[in-house]
Amino acid sequence: MNRLAVITGGTKGLGRAVAERLLAEGFDVLLSFATDHERARAVGAELRETFSGSEVFTIQADASSMDSVDAIESFLESHGRRVDVLILNAGLTARGSLEELDIETWDRVFRANVDIPVFTIQRLLDRFAPNASIVFTGSLMGEQPHSMSLAYGVSKSAVHALVKNLVKFLAPRGIRVNAVAPGFIDTEWQLAKPDHVRDSINSKISLGRFATPEEVTDPYAMLVNNPYITGETITIDGGYSYR
């Protein structure tokens, strides 16, 4: 039986790219998605055809609800599987000024980006395989301030701090925990931005362009595979702010 990687938000964008990378390395994958059943079904079928030596599972699991934790735990129990790799990639953002921000939006973003990941790990503690690896998706915005994404930026800063703090709790169990903090990536959401917005962002990136999702999978693979890295957040942003 192959090792199992659980990837939240794994059917599109960066999550899917990471899934493909781990499938190519011989993992089975469990990919969670929020609402788009048809897309998830199509992605699952495509990945099964491409990576015929691995198993690909998809489950609906809303990143902002504890029901997502129940769904993952139920899958593992019913299939008799343990978690070798947990990629906590699902999350929410919210754009708006400080004046427009309300407590409901703030809570929703923190619940998806910080709270649910913490309690996912807690619930799965006894289901991790020996020498398991957890990788959070952090963000450049957790390091560089953004004028229209306060809740998102602060929540991702909390993710980066969480990685450091979790080391103390997870090391006795032989579980490593790290994060990747991507900059701007050519996912569907970013590709939909107007040209003038993308040009403005590119002007601040040393390499002058957005990353492809595939380029950002390298640090995930390294953090999964290197047994001597824990408590680290790796930024991959093309040299943002250096121009």
- The model's pLDDT over 9-31, given as tens digits with 9 standing for 90+, comes to 999 999 999 999 999 999 999 99
pTM across the whole model = 0.94
Q: Which residues contact 143 (CB under 8 A, 6 or more apart)?
A: 157, 160, 181, 235
pLDDT in tens, 127-163: 999 999 999 999 998 988 877 789 999 999 999 999 9
155 within domain boundaries: yes
Residue 241 within any structural domain of the chain: no
User: For the chain, how far is it from start to end, CA to CA, in angstroms?
Assistant: 48
* Helix runs in 29-93, H state only: 37-50, 67-79
In this prediction, residue 200 carries a pLDDT of: 87
| Residue 86, strand partner residues | 6, 134
pLDDT of residue 101: 84
The number of angstroms, rounded, from the C-alpha of 42 to the middle of its chain's C-alpha atoms is 21
Q: Distance between CA atoms of 32 and 185, rounded to whole angstroms?
A: 20
What's the CATH number where 43 sits? Answer: 3.40.50.720
Q: How many domains does the chain have?
A: 1
In this prediction, residue 243 carries a pLDDT of 64
| Backbone angles phi and psi of 75, in degrees to 5 | -60, -50
Nearest one of 138, 147, 130, 225 to 183, comparing CA atoms: 138
Residue 92: name the closest of 107, 69, 106, 113 by CA: 113
Alpha helices in the chain (DSSP H): 13-24, 37-50, 67-79, 103-110, 116-124, 150-170, 188-191, 195-202, 213-225
- Spatial contact of 186 and 210, defined as CB atoms under 8 Å apart: yes
- The ranges of the chain with pLDDT < 70 are 189, 243
Domain range for 129: 4-236
Q: Which of 63, 79, 60, 81 is nearest to 71 (CA)?
A: 60
Residue 216 near residue 17, CB atoms below 8 Å: yes
Smallest Cα–Cα separation from 116: which of 92, 141, 140? Answer: 92
> pLDDT value at position 229?
98
* Residue 134 falls inside a structural domain: yes
Cβ atoms of 48 and 76 within 8 Å: the answer is no
pLDDT value of residue 199 = 87
pLDDT score at 145: 80
- Is 16 inside a domain boundary? yes
d(Cα 130, Cα 174) in Å, to the nearest integer? 6
Answer yes or no: is 242 within a domain.
Answer: no
141 part of a folded domain: yes
Tell me, yes or no, whether 80 lies in a domain. yes
Return the pLDDT at 99. Answer: 80
Q: What is the pLDDT of residue 152?
A: 93
